[in-house]
């Protein structure tokens, strides 16, 4: 029995900043942002979009969930809204899932969603009549004027994992590597992350090489067996560096194919920015919606969470997978975003760092149908659908 990704949903908030504007405002060369770091735009969440509301919105894009079948709901995030209650319970309630569903939140920086995918894969293998929903949802925030500012973003990806999937089968096995390091972290009393960006890139590349080499040995695979290698993309240059390592000693045809597919997989991340846990799965969506791959194309996925945890695994495309995707819907979602002037972005960003005063009702400017955070009542978070 094959198990894997049957459906993919994606949501990003309705505002963005253009990197040309940001470079001008920060007195940086535009090419540093566009080429050196490799980001063109970043989505910005106002106070009404948090990890939970974005996660619910991403599930609204799963075309056909059979609510009776869902037995597991996992929410990976590093932008949690509560120290105790899981973000997944809000989603379960919004989706009207059965009380028997097992549900919880996972945290290991940007690795959280992959942890959820692996648990879901193994769960469905044991319970083939059940499916699992896995969500990654995050706000990447470093702060105004910081060096990490250009690598911010906001968004969520949801996956339906089930038997006989229609998009990507997940192969057995994986290669994992972890080490206690301090490349990126966010203390409990801080709404923005702390990062040693250059060190983080070194650790990421080191973990990529270790897990990719180990995986190839384990599965007796060559680099040329892969149609695409896709990556966790905090900013596109980071993945590009890993991809360059992967293709360094390859023949021309392999190098060209993997370089082209890297660029395709990075299209959405380049304009959405970092969405932490879901970033790897946004790369997958970008690859699948913007290229035509044959059935059984082998795709290698590199997941990385600072702190740090890396994992390489793979999947194979299912024939006619494109029927389960909606590239024009994704285009519409991205195009609906309103461009913010830098002072407006700074105001929205700063306001969203804290919750409104308890009892205040927030109004969302999202389109009808989307969910949003409406404020707290008696310090209980309220989520509403517009």
Residue 241 or 386: which CB sits closer to ligand COA?
A: 241
Beta strands in the chain (DSSP E): 3-11, 15-18, 41-43, 70-76, 102-106, 131-140, 153-163, 168-170, 175-178, 184-185, 194-195, 228-231, 298-305, 309-317, 338-339, 371-377, 380-385
b/e sequence 51-65, b meaning 16+ C-beta within 10 Å: bbbbbbbbbbbbeeb
Q: Least CB distance from residue 335 to ligand COA, whole Å?
A: 26
As a whole number of angstroms, the distance between CA 222 and CA 216 comes to 6
Q: For the chain, how many residues are written?
A: 386
Q: Least CB distance from residue 235 to ligand COA, whole Å?
A: 6
Q: Least CB distance from residue 53 to ligand COA, whole Å?
A: 23
CB 55 within 8 A of CB 156: yes
Tell which residue, 271, 263, 197, 275, has the closest CA to residue 230.
263
Residue 63 or 197: which CB sits closer to ligand COA?
A: 197
Which residues are part of the catalytic machinery? 78, 110, 232
165 contacts: CB under 8 Å, gap ≥ 6: 2, 3, 4, 5, 6, 318
Tell which residue, 280, 254, 256, has the closest CA to residue 269.
280
As a whole number of angstroms, the distance between CA 243 and CA 282 comes to 17
DSSP conformation letters of 302-324: EEEETTTEEEEEEEEEPTTGGGG
Q: Which residues bind ligand COA (CB under 6 A)?
A: 29, 31-32, 35-37, 110, 147-148, 150-151, 184, 195, 197-198, 200, 204, 234-235, 237, 274, 304, 306
């Amino acid at each position: 029995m094959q198990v894997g990704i049957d459906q993919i949903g994606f949501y990003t908030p309705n505002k963005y900043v253009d990197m040309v504007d940001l470079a001008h405002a920060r007195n940086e060369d535009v090419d540093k942002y566009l080429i050196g770091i490799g980001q063109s735009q970043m989505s910005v969440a106002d106070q009404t979009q948090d990890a939970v509301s974005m996660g619910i919105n991403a599930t609204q894009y799963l075309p056909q969930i059979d609510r009776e079948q869902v037995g597991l709901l996992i929410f990976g995030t590093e932008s949690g809204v509560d120290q105790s209650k899981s973000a997944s319970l809000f989603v379960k309630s919004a989706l009207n899932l059965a009380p028997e569903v097992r549900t919880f939140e996972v945290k290991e920086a940007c690795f959280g969603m992959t942890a959820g995918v692996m648990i879901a894969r193994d769960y469905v293998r044991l319970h083939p009549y059940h499916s699992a929903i896995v969500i990654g949802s995050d706000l990447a925030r470093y702060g105004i004027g910081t060096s990490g500012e250009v690598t911010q973003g906001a968004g969520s990806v949801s996956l339906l994992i089930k038997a006989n999937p229609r998009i990507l089968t997940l192969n057995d096995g994986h290669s994992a590597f972890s080490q206690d390091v301090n490349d990126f972290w966010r203390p409990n009393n801080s709404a923005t992350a702390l990062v040693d960006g250059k060190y983080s890139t070194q650790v990421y590349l080191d973990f990529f090489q270790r897990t990719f080499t180990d995986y190839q040995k384990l599965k007796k695979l060559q680099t040329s067996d892969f149609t695409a290698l896709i990556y966790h993309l905090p900013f596109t240059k980071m993945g590009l560096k890993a991809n360059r390592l992967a293709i360094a000693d390859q023949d021309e045809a392999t190098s060209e194919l993997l370089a082209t597919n890297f660029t395709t997989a990075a299209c959405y991340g380049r304009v959405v920015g970092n969405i932490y846990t879901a970033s790897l799965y946004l790369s997958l969506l970008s690859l699948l919606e913007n290229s035509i791959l044959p059935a059984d194309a082998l795709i290698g996925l590199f997941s990385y969470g600072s702190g740090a945890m890396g994992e390489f695994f793979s999947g194979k495309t299912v024939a006619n997978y494109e029927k389960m995707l909606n590239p024009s819907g994704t285009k519409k979602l991205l195009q609906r975003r309103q461009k913010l002037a830098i002072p407006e972005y700074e105001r929205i960003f700063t306001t969203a760092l804290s919750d409104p005063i308890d009892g205040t009702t927030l109004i969302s400017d999202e389109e009808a149908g989307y969910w949003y955070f409406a404020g707290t009542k008696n310090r209980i978070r309220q989520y509403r659908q517009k």
